[in-house]
A and B are shown apart, each in its own frame.
Chain A
């Protein structure tokens, strides 16, 4: 039996305004979702062209969840997004050409060719770069929240993880510490229903991942991850609650991973019917319809957003392709930090 609260969908424009988004904000959210998908689609093409070494991961189907949560964050909040959360980087304002440079192992990617795919973050945007070991970033986000609590700052940390990663000890330990100390952290579970090839019933025995929240002493919420406005509203409430001393929240955003685990995986193990069903709830299409019905988005506005995104992507690809490959002679530089490395917006 479910313990977590199941969030209602967002209805009217008035309701959205109350949650803090005006019409321009909504169009920006729509643009960020399209740009997110566009980056990953172009990335796919680059991969097929042999321009991306290693593997390639996307978050198709998770655009609303990532953009919705990131839209709810304030400029001073910090986050640890994962490989299905490109929308977080986009919403926080990363320049798309740097993502393509990252994909292609060029020096202008955030990791300067030292790490690949979405293992990146721009610290100027309040993000901390993920590692492959999921959910190792949860305790790190909890630590950021601990720093805010010690200094009595009204800031929140947002920690992303997948339903697969919810099985690991880091998740339990991070939530335990956050719970006992009522730290200003929001845990966001991207439940895309498949951990590589493993379905949810082999990953956790409760109905929802968010049902666990009560055991850690905070609220759990399940939200439809294809509904960007519902995700936004729940994230906004949780972040404000965290900032005002109300402690953590666990938001489980349910979507379907619309592609394989990575580019090599055709996801044969996912029932075809499941893909067909979830395709009907495509987050971008869903929000587009909502905007047309509830916010009177015009054809002109839609076209303008589409062409701006297209231009951005074309320019970004060109600029990324001009970025040089890293110099092997610099391989051993920066294994250890020097005092100047502490001169960042994060560390201050």
Chain B
């Protein structure tokens, strides 16, 4: 075991697959000589050559579309969006072509699109978004959102192995802030399985990505409330069984995400709990999410946008006292 940052774990997973499987290649803006805007592929071009670490023109539609074509021809492409926000430029290729090809034409499209997402550093409206719910809504796409270095590596390997288009949301705020032991060998983390980040008895928090740590900090502030944190890890397909099991145990749920509130994936989780575990609830399901605005730039505004530890602590307190 080596201690790796979240970012190093992503690199490690990608490098592991590229060494093992010649079909895997990387394409994106500045991924080659520069090593990617966040340096995930630093040194890759030296090791794998410029036909497996491809510096693409500034053309997200071409990048994702080319991945689809190459995947259908037997490759295992991994595209990097410089920021998750730019995936909007490739929406058509993902949603119209890649997502529907298996269902309507029987053609599997095994691609991975890496999406550096999330805010917390004044990235503003176009470098901070968490668009996972938009894609989770599209039948045929999978969305993974690892929170720990171990999951970052294992889920990336699973995503590359998966025969479907997988959107891999990597939270930028975790890149160098989160460090943990990561197995050196190759391993996978199953897509669609949640992880209990911490066990508790009184309130469940269902969350993913950077909000796992916000929930953890908030839980620490409440000495008298035992909080269970379920890290979803995969937003589509999501682990209903694990969520419902935790709900049945604690009877109180807080659904937390960094994406905006209305139509956010938390709404789906809350609705499912209401449908399938209503009788087990001792309090209404509570949601904490960003307000329905674009992501702001200036620090006080961004602080008001992204759910903060004190917001979550207050929500947990409210639920505990209900």
- By a beta-carbon cutoff of 8 Å, the part of chain A in contact with chain B is 78, 110-112, 114-115, 119-121, 123, 128-129, 131-133, 136-150, 157, 169-170, 173-174, 176-177, 180-181, 334-339, 341-342, 344, 346-348
Contact = CB atoms under 8 A, between A and B. Distances in A.
A151 to B, nearest CB: 8
A140 B72 contact: yes
A143 B67 contact: yes
B23 to A, nearest CB: 9
A335 B140 contact: yes
A165 B238 CA distance: 38
Contacts of A150: 25, 51-52, 70, 75
A133 B25 CA distance: 27
A334 B106 contact: yes
7 contacts: A128-B105, A133-B92, A139-B93, A142-B69, A143-B65, A337-B163, A347-B108
Contact of A139 (B25, B66, B72): B66
Contact of B107 (A170, A181, A335, A346): A346
B96 A133 contact: yes
Given A346-B72, A348-B74, 4 more contacts: A123-B106, A173-B65, A338-B163, A342-B110
A177 B56 contact: yes
Contact of A177 (B62, B109, B163): B62
The 10 nearest A-B residue pairs measured at CB: A139-B65, A143-B69, A143-B66, A337-B108, A173-B62, A147-B73, A129-B105, A173-B59, A341-B108, A337-B163
B72 A128 contact: yes
Nearest to B99: A335
Contacts, number: 161
Given A169-B61, A337-B163, A339-B163, A144 B102 contact: no
Nearest to A138: B65
B206 to A, nearest CB: 23
B97 interface: yes
Contact of B71 (A141, A143, A174): A143
Contacts of A78: 73
Interface in B64-106: 64-75, 77, 92-93, 96-97, 100-106
Nearest to A340: B163
B92 to A, nearest CB: 6
